[in-house]
Structure 1
Amino acid sequence: MIRIRVISARGSTPRDAGAEMFVGFDSVQGTIGGGQLEYMAIDRARAMLSQGLDLDRLDIPLGPEIGQCCGGRVVLELDRHGPTPQDHPDALIFGAGHVGRALALALQPLPVNATLIDQRPEELALAAAGIATHLTPLPETLIRDARAGTAVVILTHDHALDFLLAAEALSRPDLAYVGMIGSATKRAQFTRFAKGIDTSRLVCPIGAGLSQDKRPEVIAAFTAAELIGRLTAVSSLKKYPCNI
């Protein structure tokens, strides 16, 4: 598989530096912006696979000569040994009820490895096709074992379990996002429960501020946007740290 990465983007371009996609002989994952730019890059990546080449670079003006009118210029690096497309941050969704299943589905096309977790096999069985699921009687252990930068979303059927998982997650300062479904009242209850724990990082309610609609799919959509926005911000800070 060839990784195609935008290493320079000047002027008006469909994607910024850092955007990437992965090309195999019969597969394409991700995008660098579509159009002729992407077609040219895919053709070159497959030629590299056929010729056994490991590294190449393309400097492409986005003008009439390639049928695009952005007006910018993009430099692409093509690398056979780049990271796999699975090298995305993890999102652990605790609770396979209506909102949990909807959130897992909303995250499915996004650059995040989402797993739906529950103690109830009958609820996990209702997840949409292709959703990664995990059945466990001890969900808190998954938080302890999570990779740094993981997002944790807590939506179980049991407030006591929610509080246990939230306390466990907030004990990990290296998690990118800790969210819990609920209300301002539930947040206040948790704050009283979690004595000695810094609750300032807790997002509760999740997906709030843009709509009062309580349909699971709507809550899931706003939560997915909130979560991916936080993961993107954390990733950008790692790439471009501020030294002021």
Structure 2
Amino acid sequence: MRVWRQLTDLVTRHGSAALISVHDVKGSAPREAGARMAVRPDGAFHGTIGGGQLEFRMLDIAREMLQAGRGPARIVDQALGPDLGQCCGGRVAILIETFDGRDLDDLAPLVEAEAGGGPFEVECRMEEGRVRRELASAVGDDRWTGWHETHGVARTPVLLFGAGHVGRALVLSLAPLPFAVRWLDDREDAFPSHVPANARAVRLRDPEAEIAGADPASLILVMTHDHPLDMAITAAALKRAFPYVGLIGSATKRARFEKRFRELHLPEERIRALVCPIGLAGIADKDPAVIAASVTAQLLQVREGGNPERNLSPPAPSNDT
């Protein structure tokens, strides 16, 4: 969630809004420090601080604060076990703030920074009972005492080659997650009319140039409508040490491709690094949405710094033969 954009929209549409933030965590808790939710005056909300009794109680407090009008921020210190009966057992400090039209000018720089798409730092301090925020780059360390907040998400780049059934399902599956998808297909009419905000649809003209120009941290997925094109893209990708190179298809397809990769003198360790079939082990359903969910989980594993769990049951989706 782009919290500052969401908060600004709520204030503009409804006159006021509250922001609930996990300010500090000690021990086990449902969410980490920095988890946030924006709340409308009628109690509707966007985002989560973890659900359960903690979230319900903080929403009640936020609604009460909104009914009282724009006022001072409040920090609620909450023990999860004895106070709420939640078995996490930790302790959290929850920051609750209210905003109205008087705050829109102060929110504007945060909205602009958020629109940049990457993470950014904010310096915060209490001033007359309210939280004052400024972008960290605009603040000198010698005059600012308070705390830091990190906003935005560092998105992992994904190069997805192919806009068939599985490609479309995968783009939708990745839409709410911290990935930046460059979606490529060489067919003019391949893409749907609407593409998620974290994806960019691009007509594929030079596959090797796309691979050569990719961020080294990119995750590569190959699922085009054409096996020779799959071969060329995958071979180019395996020449670089990307964290993940996935090729849709069966174990038979992999064996055929491996033979050609050896003819191209690709190192054995790079051939072994290829993920084919793609997706988690034990999920054999061939429905595109199921494959997309399985592959999404696999990409999240890689994003967290782990090795991809391999799929031992080869999916054979409708855009692959």
TM-score (norm 1): 0.72
How far apart in 2 are the matches of 1:219 and 1:112?
18
Q: Which runs of 5+ in 1 are unaligned?
A: 44-49, 236-244
1:155 is displaced (CA, Å) by 0.2
Equivalent residue in structure 1 for 2:80, among 62, 67, 72:
62
Equivalent residue in structure 2 for 1:149, among 195, 198, 217:
217
1:89 is displaced (CA, Å) by 0.7
Q: Does the 8 Å CA contact 1:61/1:71 hold for their aligned counterparts?
A: no
Calculate percent identity across the aligned residue pairs. Answer: 37
Match in the other structure for 2:230: 162
1:1-244 paired onto structure 2 within 5 Å = 1=4, 8-11=25-28, 13-15=29-31, 20-21=34-35, 31-35=48-52, 37=54, 40=58, 60-63=78-81, 65=83, 67=84, 69-74=86-91, 80=122, 81=135, 82-125=149-192, 130=197, 131-173=199-241, 175-194=242-261, 195-197=265-267, 198-207=270-279, 209-234=281-306
How far apart in 2 are the matches of 1:167 and 1:76?
51
* Residues matched between the structures, number: 224
1:38 is displaced (CA, Å) by 5.5
| SS in structure 2 of the partner of residue 33 of structure 1 | coil
Q: Which has the larger radius of gyration?
A: 2
| SS in structure 2 of the partner of residue 148 of structure 1 | coil
The 1:151/1:74 distance shift into structure 2, 3 A limit, reads: farther
| Equivalent residue letter for 1:201 | A
1:182 is displaced (CA, Å) by 1.0
Q: Which runs of 5+ in 2 are unaligned?
A: 5-18, 63-69, 96-120, 123-134, 136-148, 308-321
Over aligned residue pairs, what C-alpha RMSD do you find? Answer: 3.8
The 1:35/1:220 distance shift into structure 2, 3 A limit, reads: same
Q: Which has the higher contact order (CA 8 A, sep 6+)?
A: 1
Q: Which shifted more, 133-142 or 120-129?
A: 120-129
| Equivalent residue letter for 1:228 | L
| Equivalent residue letter for 2:295 | T
1:136 is displaced (CA, Å) by 2.6
1:129 is displaced (CA, Å) by 5.3
| SS in structure 2 of the partner of residue 160 of structure 1 | helix
How far apart in 2 are the matches of 1:115 and 1:178?
15
